[in-house]
Structure 1
Amino acid sequence: MRITPRARTRVAAVAVVAGAATFALSACGSGSDGGADQKIASAAPTHLSGTVSLWHFFSDREAKVIQGVVDDFEKANPDVKVVVHSGQDDEKLRKAIAAGNDVDVAISYSTDIVGNFCQSGAFQDLAKYIARDKVDIGQLLPTARNYTEFDGKRCAMPVLADTYGLYYNKALLSKAGIDAPPKTLDELESDALKLTTYNSDGSIKTLGFNPWMGYQEMAPAHLASATGAKWLDDDGKSVVGSDPGWKELIEWQKSFAEKIGIDKLKKFTAASADEFSAQNDFEIGRVAMNLDGEWRVAFMKDQAPKVDYGTVPFPTAADHTDLYGGGYITGNIGGIAKGSKNPELAWALLKYLTADTSAVVKLANGLQNVPTISSAFDSPDLVRDPHFETFLKIAQDKNSLTTPPSPNGAGYQLAFADWWQKYQTTPGTSDLDAQLKKVDDQINAAASLNSVP
């Protein structure tokens, strides 16, 4: 579920969306209704015909999975031709829509564009289509419902999801005398310190868990479920400085890193191979436990089939054990582009890709990502691997959360992550409250600049 693998594209999306927010707003129209007043037929067509374009970011094997489902749609509708544009990242998509190119249905790899695309009108409002065709939005995972609409406007539908949990090497834990994976952050830290080994020169040989902010999937958003930390208030203002969950996570992470040694961690992290190569730290046993997404299950089958490992929800803070079982959820999203030449046919295709049980299950099995409609979870055709089952449960857990849509895209996440990566190397914590207040101010100022009048 990635141009290059998922997490790397997500990092790229954060940078692209944050940096291009103003461009998107000006190019796609300011304050457009996004199709809210479009004229649609009183009933869905009983026969579909014509040509519709589909833009998506998938490539290679994954593009073939998408094509297989598109072929099914065409087979069911023999008078329809879907012109597929694969390998189109979000920046290409953004420019194509702004230029009025032939874009009908578009799939993005980032939920972070939703706030911007809903508000600017780059993606049309789907409300009238959904109401007319009686599409049950209640079938969607609650988190997926949240990240596919903004300010009461549903301009997108979820196209599978990614969920995050903890991977652990059973052999390494057993060797260290650890009987079960950790459920709290304190246990994670304690176990990790036991599992960490050193070379004769004092450098790290094997790391129990790498707490370095910025290492692989170690990002603020992916940790938030451990304390239920919130990003924005109801007015879209940053609360990272006032939500106690963030402060708790920051203090835990910084203290953990300091116990191992900042310089040692920096050196160890710098020597890590590419996250998505066969030399991935967890896959070769260089780290014993790791925060990662469900896609790693497929990588393990392909690249490290002999490793005996387990998957569980990511630990929570000791004072938030009631949240255990949840995790961070994100995913791909699809919408009908502003200026679509055949919006009725575009809606039929989008609805098929996101609300048809057989299509969603086929996509989930082929792309090895989490479905987003409840009927797919119940389908006997959904392939259920014991390791993958963990992520299916996380996706359905009431305590799972996501990052809220914003007109400024991922700008607020990027600002906080940049600050945190610098803060982890700063001695002392006495000025933490003041620093977080500055982060709030920075996020709010940027959001104000990029808001639509």
Structure 2
Amino acid sequence: MPGSQHRRGFHTARARRRSCAVALAAATALVASACSTGGGTSGPDTGAGDTSPVTITFWHGFSSPHEIASVGAVLALFHKKYPYITVKAVPAETDDKVNQAIRGGTAPDVDASFNAANVGGWCSSGAFLDLTADIQADHVDLGQIPKAVQSYTAFGGKRCTMPWLADTFGLYYNKKLFAAAGITAPPKTMSELAADARKLTVLNPDGSIKVAGFMPYLGAYEMLTEHLVTSWGGSWLKADGSSNVGTDPAFAAAMTWQKGLVDWFGAAKLAKFKAGMPDEFSAQNSFETGNLAMMVDGEWRTAFIKNDKSTVDYGTAPMPVADTMPQLYGSGYVGGNVIGIPRGSKHPDAAWKLVKFLTTDTEAVTTLADAIGNVPTTLPALDSPSLTLAQDPKFATFLDVFKNPHTSTTPASADGGAYLTNYGLFANKWQSGQIPDLQAGLKAVDRQNDAALKLGQ
């Protein structure tokens, strides 16, 4: 099961994405020329070749004792398969530190990150090695990885990372509050979500919010723009890599829906309620205490509810979708951890073996997924009978969302995800009533994004 330290790590990384100018500068300064693992020097993984003893370093961000032990258990499986390779794992490492190590020539052999937004910069600058030749030499089938996941682990024709477990988002709903409001099933459309939110909302005598049926205010827990626009099938970037938010009608539709529900509550009331929401990763989480009837959240919440000993009677479902796009129901947003070989790795052949094992070996993937409560990132692992998470109907929702062909993500970009930062600033002004012309505001975001994307190239 995931611990709060891991989730804090993941969200701290994502928060850094919101101010990604620093990350962009760091990524583009890492190296002036692209590198590769040497044209697939590890060769096909037949078990033959140089088996001289070697020790490689592996940095990752997991920090709780349970998580560290869980990673160690999977590394023991790797050592059993490759007894001549010893892995020295270093936990609680950050992207900033690995960037510094790459610049200083002291990079680890393998690095894992919680922040896929950095992939574009790492691939385009050559900070992480292009794995394409090794993938081809070892005949690794990328078809076992869903398209959305493939998209956030590669950039510009270079696959410099592989996915290492994922976070998948859906709807959590309070069954007790649903029954009291006469609601018999979770909403499937956004109009149903808005109607249910109104029925489930309870006000205090002074008119303030006691129980929010749903929290439409962006920035509250996992209510983020990237988790919202997927319900309309929004595409953040065009095929040429330019910004698409002013052209794709999904963004205007999503913002119109969101603002309509904000206005029904009252922006000031929502801002006050948001300010009083306890820490997302504490046992006082508003959903776990019954003060939030529905929310968008990741699969890890199932473990938090259990570990926090919350008494909330809840269910999970895919996020509702636009009324005009019923074919999207069952899909959602996915993001996750990435792992690759930094420039300067002293043992790239052995490093590739570790990367491939952790990301494509079914036993390795299911073992770690079960241990920390994340979604496996390969289809064989998702369908493996040894994946015990699949036996929990509440968690199985997220496995189904992950496998849905319409599930999407925020694509990698050379600007380190600045397009999300710019959109987030716009969305905050929009929900507080500071944007009088929605379409003009979206076009302005396009101009900002295109400028940032050009700088990131």
> Fold conserved (TM > 0.5)?
yes
Whether 1:40 and 2:41 are equivalent positions in the alignment is: yes
Q: 1:68, 1:260 → 2: CA distance?
A: 48
* Deviations 1:88-140, CA, capped at 9 Å, x for gaps: 01111211122111411110101111111111011111111111111111111
Q: For residue 59 of structure 2, what is the aligned residue in structure 1?
A: 55
TM-score, normalisation: structure 1: 0.96
Q: For residue 24 of structure 1, what is the aligned residue in structure 2?
A: 27
Correspondence list, 1:234-383, <5 A: 234-383=239-388
* Deviations 1:21-43, CA, capped at 9 Å, x for gaps: 022212x213x233165461544
Give the conservation status (yes or no) of the 8 Å contact 1:49–1:77: no
Q: For residue 103 of structure 1, what is the aligned residue in structure 2?
A: 108
2:141 pairs, out of 136, 144, 149, with 136
Q: 1:445, 1:16 → 2: CA distance?
A: 16
Q: 2:160, 2:196 → 1: CA distance?
A: 44
1:402 pairs, out of 406, 409, 421, with 409
CA drift of 1:348 comes to 0.6
Q: How many percent of aligned residue pairs carry the same amino acid?
A: 44
SS at match of 1:5: helix
Greater shift after overlay, 7-16 or 414-423? 7-16
Q: 1:324, 1:311 → 2: CA distance?
A: 14
Q: Specify whether residues 75 and 48 from structure 1 end up closer, same or farther in structure 2 by C-alpha distance, changes over 3 A only.
A: farther
* Deviations 1:227-266, CA, capped at 9 Å, x for gaps: 0011111111101111100000001101110111111111
Greater shift after overlay, 43-52 or 222-231? 43-52
Give the conservation status (yes or no) of the 8 Å contact 2:59–2:89: yes
1:434 pairs, out of 440, 444, 447, with 440
CA drift of 1:399 comes to 0.9
Give the conservation status (yes or no) of the 8 Å contact 1:298–1:368: yes
SS at match of 1:186: helix
Q: Specify whether residues 219 and 18 from structure 1 end up closer, same or farther in structure 2 by C-alpha distance, changes over 3 A only.
A: farther
Greater shift after overlay, 80-89 or 338-347? 80-89
CA drift of 1:430 comes to 4.8
Whether 1:15 and 2:11 are equivalent positions in the alignment is: no
Q: For residue 427 of structure 2, what is the aligned residue in structure 1?
A: 420
Q: Which amino acid aligns with 1:425?
A: S
Correspondence list, 1:44-193, <5 A: 44=45, 46=48, 47=51, 49-60=53-64, 61-193=66-198
Give the conservation status (yes or no) of the 8 Å contact 1:240–1:436: yes
Q: 1:146, 1:156 → 2: CA distance?
A: 11
Q: 2:362, 2:94 → 1: CA distance?
A: 26
Q: 1:202, 1:442 → 2: CA distance?
A: 39
Q: 1:211, 1:397 → 2: CA distance?
A: 25
Give the conservation status (yes or no) of the 8 Å contact 2:98–2:107: no
Give the conservation status (yes or no) of the 8 Å contact 1:18–1:410: no
CA drift of 1:450 comes to 2.6
Q: 1:395, 1:365 → 2: CA distance?
A: 16
What RMSD over aligned residues (CA atoms) do the two structures have, in Å? 1.6
Q: Which amino acid aligns with 1:412?
A: Y
Q: Which amino acid aligns with 2:31?
A: G
Greater shift after overlay, 324-333 or 295-304? 295-304
* Deviations 1:297-325, CA, capped at 9 Å, x for gaps: 10011114422110000001111111111
Q: Which amino acid aligns with 2:76?
A: D
Correspondence list, 1:201-216, <5 A: 201-216=206-221
Q: Specify whether residues 304 and 288 from structure 1 end up closer, same or farther in structure 2 by C-alpha distance, changes over 3 A only.
A: farther
* Deviations 1:8-63, CA, capped at 9 Å, x for gaps: 2343341364422022212x213x23316546154445236301110100001212
Structure 1 ranges of 4+ moved more than 6 A: none
Q: Specify whether residues 413 and 110 from structure 1 end up closer, same or farther in structure 2 by C-alpha distance, changes over 3 A only.
A: same
Give the conservation status (yes or no) of the 8 Å contact 1:48–1:77: no
Give the conservation status (yes or no) of the 8 Å contact 1:53–1:103: yes
SS at match of 1:149: coil
SS at match of 1:254: helix
2:456 pairs, out of 445, 450, 453, with 450
Greater shift after overlay, 198-207 or 42-51? 42-51
SS at match of 1:153: coil
Q: Which amino acid aligns with 1:397?
A: N
CA drift of 1:76 comes to 2.8
Equivalences, count: 448
TM-score, normalisation: structure 2: 0.95
SS at match of 1:348: helix
SS at match of 1:68: helix
